[in-house]
Amino acid sequence: MAYTNIDDPSAHFQAKAYTGNGDSSDDTNAITNDGNSDLKPDLTWFKRRNYDNQHLLFDSTRGVTKYLTSDRNDAEGTIADRLVSFNTDGFTVKSSSGAVNQHDEPFICWQWKANGGTTSTNNDGNHSSVVQANQDAGFSIITYTGTGNTSTTIGHGLGVKPDLIIFKRRDAGTNNWDVQIKGEARTTLNTDGTEATNVLCTFTSTTTNLGSTATAEKNAANATYVAYAFASKQGYSKIGRYVGNGNANGPFVYTGFKPAFILIKGNSNYKYWYIFDNKLDPINQVDTGISPSNVFAENTNTNIGIDFLSNGFKLRNSATTTNESGTNTLYMAFAENPFTTSTGIPTTAR
């Protein structure tokens, strides 16, 4: 078996830093990715880097006019002049919005490929869902209508057990983003608290149930939902845990690739989620992080520093947010390069 089946991760995930050009509501800005492969995204996650604008998430299942915000429990919004299109290799934004395109302001967009916007009805569970899946890269977008029945299962389309699924109710603004971790607890993307164990989903290679109770976050009767499912893929993505040591010489976490993106959350009260990527800080030490659970501008503080290595990452801080001593910390990482390609070519460190 080859070390990895994904020699070029940029075909499936890319981060793109860009500068807005909008002086009026009619200005458009076509952004081209700069990875080795073209990437037409199916999930785009936008954040202005230097100001307290909301995170905006769009996907090609719901369409370019429908957005959600990772830092709030708001219902899905509709707007026609933020994201215009998912392009062959990038995307186009519009307007002078401070969230996606204000003139001369810096932005970041994280992008994942699913199935090019082509969806299908999935009947693997006892309740149908609409799915577009990228099985090679372990990512799918799922939409469904809740039943209120505690025995409800839906198909996710990955063909393997997901490691993590992120759920969001679309039609009501009182329900948090629910993050379910395989075989473990659940946590909340838009808050900074500890994990909960009172409601667990179980995953199979084809389905997930929607919890031991009919929670409003995942399965209220007649409510509409979107879910993003992720499975680890050797040499491309890794979802796992590390235990912090509270030391500036922090733990090394093996992923099997040089990271392009790392999402971190410590299981402790008032510990922010953090995203680090290879565009916010192109060289080590990576000191620039963005919190998806808050509207804050990016944090450029050595106290949260991290090194991106050829085969994983190493904590270079004693901050309780990312390296609290003894804290079981969740991470989800995607690759810039596999540690070794399918033909045996190793990657180089920064």
Amino acid at the residue 154:
I
Cα–Cα dist 218/200, whole Å: 11
Q: Are 201 and 180 in contact (CB under 8 A)?
A: yes
Look at 3 and 161; give whichever has higher pLDDT.
Answer: 161
Average pLDDT value over all residues in the chain:
94
- Per the rule left: phi > 0, alpha: psi between -120 and 50, beta: everything else, 342 is alpha
Cα–Cα dist 190/154, whole Å: 24
Q: Are 23 and 79 in contact (CB under 8 A)?
A: no
The yes-or-no verdict on residue 1 having pLDDT over 50 is no
Q: Which two tokens stand for residue 140?
A: 């799918």
Q: Find the mean pLDDT for residues 127-144.
A: 98
Domain ranges in the chain are 9-112, 120-230, 240-338
Read off the pLDDT of residues 169-184 as tens digits, 9 standing for 90 and up: 999 999 999 999 988 8
Look at 193 and 154; give whichever has higher pLDDT.
Answer: 154
The yes-or-no verdict on residue 219 having pLDDT over 50 is yes
* Overall pTM surpassing 0.85 (yes/no): yes
Q: Find the mean pLDDT for residues 74-90.
A: 97
Read off the pLDDT of residues 9-55 as tens digits, 9 standing for 90 and up: 999 999 999 999 999 988 999 999 999 999 999 999 999 999 999 99
